[in-house]
Amino acid sequence: MQPWTVEYGTLWAAETKGDLRPLYPARVGVVFAEASPSDGLALTGAMNLSDPQPIQQRFQSHRRCFTLRVADHIISYGWVTHGTECVGEFERQFRFHDDEAYIWDCATVPAWRGRGCYSALLSHILHQLQAEGMPRVWIGASRLNQPSVKGFVNAGFQPVVDATYRRFYRLTWLWIHPKLAVTRPLVGHAYRILLNDHERRFGRLALGYKRKRNNPQIVAA
């Protein structure tokens, strides 16, 4: 464990009970598809991994992966979790209800960037989850990650809360700042997702002490 850490992020949401924005078009002909364990080697290459085992472990733990493909080559991908997901940047678990989904670890192969693929991928995932009856979908990123923020906006997500996380040895400090014009129930859901058992909330501030060493899997949105 490093002596200290600091992270600045924003949690975004899209509620799918109403009409979604039309599918965002990539500036290249793509095919949207859900990946399966048989796509492990293709995903290993797209994700620039040396070993397909982490991908197989994700599938075995019921995580899902959606892709954009050109000529059967994966050019963009994004993972989806139902339930609980470890988020290394915030050194905690994000906890979701059964009727919620969380999109994470998304990327576009470098040679295909700059063509709207990321926005198109997120848009397709939202429409797919809406068709499955999923009323609320979450995604998060660092506030400094402008390419991700642009993709969120294009796909139809709205920012719900800004979160600043600091840890000094085992003492943790989480400041949650709701965005304007966001409904109180949605903000309440964000608190429920972000706060972990070792923390006590005082208004917008949550203080905690990590009694056990925690080595969560690092993921990126």
Residue 215 confidence (pLDDT): 47
Domains, the chain, ordered by start: 4-209 (3.40.630.30)
- pLDDT tens for 163-179 read 999 999 999 999 999 99
- pLDDT tens for 78-113 read 999 999 999 999 999 999 999 999 999 999 999 999
Residue 212 confidence (pLDDT): 65
Share of residues in the chain with pLDDT > 90 (%): 92
What distance in Å separates the CA atoms of residue 152 and residue 157, rounded to the nearest whole number?
5
- pLDDT tens for 133-149 read 999 999 999 998 999 99
Residue 27 confidence (pLDDT): 97
Per-residue pLDDT band at 220 (split at 50, 70, 90): very low
Residue 139 confidence (pLDDT): 98
Tell the residue number behind the tokens 């943790």, with chain if given: 172
Residue 62 clears pLDDT 90, i.e. is over it: yes
Residue 37 clears pLDDT 60, i.e. is over it: yes
What are the structure tokens assigned to 190, written together?
Answer: 């964000």
The secondary structure of 56-85 as a DSSP string is HHHHHTT-EEEEEEETTEEEEEEEEESSEE
Residue 83 confidence (pLDDT): 94
What distance in Å separates the CA atoms of residue 80 and residue 68, rounded to the nearest whole number?
14
Query: CB–CB of 1/213 below 8 Å?
Result: yes
Q: Are strands 171-178 and 31-34 parallel, antiparallel or unpaired?
A: unpaired
Closest CA to 9 of 157, 176, 189, 171: 176
Query: CB–CB of 82/100 below 8 Å?
Result: yes
Q: What is the pTM of this model?
A: 0.92
